[in-house]
Amino acid sequence: MLNTRLHQANIESTLVIQRNTMEYEKPITGEFTATAQLESTKDWPKFLRHFSRMGKARTTLISTLHYQQQRAGFFRGEFVALQK
């Protein structure tokens, strides 16, 4: 998701996972879906401004895994974009 957003903003960068946690709540033994979003939608404009000024910026992404219409896992990751 972050790579796509950066590409849409015409920003070439390298993404690095600074830290992350993953909670597996139920077994997944087949096809599943994952949704991702920024932890706060207010962060994106701030992220872009910071990247423009400093050549790097940090944001947090959350993702939920669903299996058989039930939440099966949760991911939270802090990502840093570095200017190429």
Domains, the chain, ordered by start: 2-83 (3.10.129.10)
Whole-angstrom distance, CA of residue 34 vs CA of residue 71: 10
E runs forming strands in the chain: 13-24, 33-38, 56-67, 70-83
pLDDT at 6 over 90: yes
When pLDDT is averaged across residues 68-81 and rounded to a whole number, the result is 97
3: pLDDT strictly greater than 90: yes
Alpha-carbon span 32 to 29, nearest angstrom: 9
Single pTM value for the model:
0.87
Question: Is 30's pLDDT higher than 90?
Answer: yes
Q: Are 80 and 57 in contact (CB under 8 A)?
A: yes
Whether 69 shows a pLDDT value over 90: the answer reads: yes
The rounded distance, in Å, linking the Cα atoms of 56 and 3 is: 14
